[in-house]
Chains A and B, each alone.
Chain A
């Protein structure tokens, strides 16, 4: 070594694993790894049990038959599957137009005035309202007052309760998606004399479509699994759905009701319904994730 540095007093740069700082570093890394393991463990365990316990019952009859009367065997959850789709559809039909409209207001029209601040804050607060309270609200406002043709518990009421729950998510998603659209794009449209309405509907909204769609898919997936807003709005029904203005079964309420029954056939159906629900919801989540990745690359 002819380098002149070699003649100077030399302090080793060697990694010394025994140093206190390196030992603490390893310790904390190990703790963080352990915590991450604990954090993913519940997902793995829940998925394993849902797939095994619920998978046992997957058959044609599960998707075509009504649940059995207490004490009897067999049957399916066909009415609950249809019910979940119907109620979620009603919720989406209300929450998406309202939420997208509100989101457009916040992103495109709102100035820094008190009103928009108030709506934004209100939206955040609404997002934090416990889902059971949404149920209580819709019960008091619609079910107890027999608002729909004198009916008390209705699929419609359940859908409205879900809509209240989805609304803040849809608004926030729309607001954030629209804000991601480059300003230059809408300036371009405004620059050739397009009205604000045309600019928003033809230019801004289409370019924000993907993030909005993923957000909305996630909101729908979350609503489909909600139980608390449905237990005293849509209630439950052991029969086939009878339109939007009667009580209706749903998978989530079925799981709740059947889980706490002392009959094995009902417990098994609760697992089967969990299987279907989890597959649908995780499927929607992975779909949303895939759309996002697919369009961003």
Chain B
């Protein structure tokens, strides 16, 4: 229809998975991030980078309507997934989240056994197959099978932080979403766990579209195919800052030959 207008930042000719069209997100009357256009390509890893307070996590959480849980948070514009605006009135947010999974900054295993942590999501998504097989496959994909195969009945809380996070990733994989959103998944983890998760992401992008927020630029370089750089600017007359998308491109271009000066400054460590 009119998607030729406001041509989104480029992602080449790859099939797009999620499109943000003129998205503005506010908390109450305060705008957190403004006027974002972006086409997130399918089966690739897209990283969101930028200084803190630039709204990158807010945008990420908007992609599966997680912001619905925050009182007073509202969104203008369209987020199109699978040809449908996920913020349309008649859309079921539960349905959205079943197809767009999420891994959070802080590992948040359910207070259940490791097995049940995986099986829970599958069961509520109506999984009818071999549950044992699914649990093993998910844990394997999340590179945590070897550490947990002998203690599937133990509580998920008994694992270390890095293991818990991989369990949460396994939990997200198990429901076989089309997209996995990751909100700074490694920020609370040690370098070895981080490395394991990064390795895993290269495997995962074969079957999933991944969007990751990271404050670690090296991580963005290592794991992502595309990178979008967000920045924040002071609002005229206002007290707070509002975030906006500066540039969205191949990760290589963003880090080696960015179009915008702000991007150049940020990736070379001149601010942020």
Contacts and interface: CB of A to CB of B under 8 A. Distances in A.
- A and B, direct touch (CB closer than 8 Å): yes
Interface in B58-101: 80-84, 86, 90-92, 94-96, 99
Interface stretch (A10-18, A103-111, A206-214, A236-244): A10-18
A260 B83 CA distance: 73
Interface of B: 1, 3-4, 15-17, 19, 80-84, 86, 90-92, 94-96, 99, 124
A170 B4 CA distance: 69
Nearest to A20: B126
B92 A14 contact: yes
Contact of A1 (B83, B91, B92): B83
Contacts of A15: 90-92, 95
A4 interface: yes
A10 B99 CA distance: 12
A21 B124 CA distance: 9
Contacts of A5: 15-17, 19, 80-83
Q: Please classify how large the interface on chain A is, using the bins under 10, 10 to 19, 20 to 34, 35 or more.
A: 10 to 19
A158 to B, nearest CB: 48
Interface of A is mostly: loop
Interface string A1-37: 1111110101111111000011000000000000000
A2 B95 contact: no
Contact of B83 (A10, A16, A21): A10
B4 A2 contact: yes
Contact of A3 (B80, B91, B94, B124): B80
A6 B92 CA distance: 19
Most buried by A among B3, B80, B84: B84
A42 to B, nearest CB: 30
Given A1-B1, A1-B3, A3-B80, A13 B92 contact: yes
Nearest to B96: A13
A12 B99 CA distance: 11
Contacts of B91: 13-15
A22 B84 CA distance: 20
Contacts of B19: 3, 5
A249 to B, nearest CB: 50
Contact of B82 (A2, A10, A16, A22): A10
Contacts of B94: 21
A8 B92 contact: no
Contacts of B90: 14-15
Most buried by A among B83, B90, B96: B83
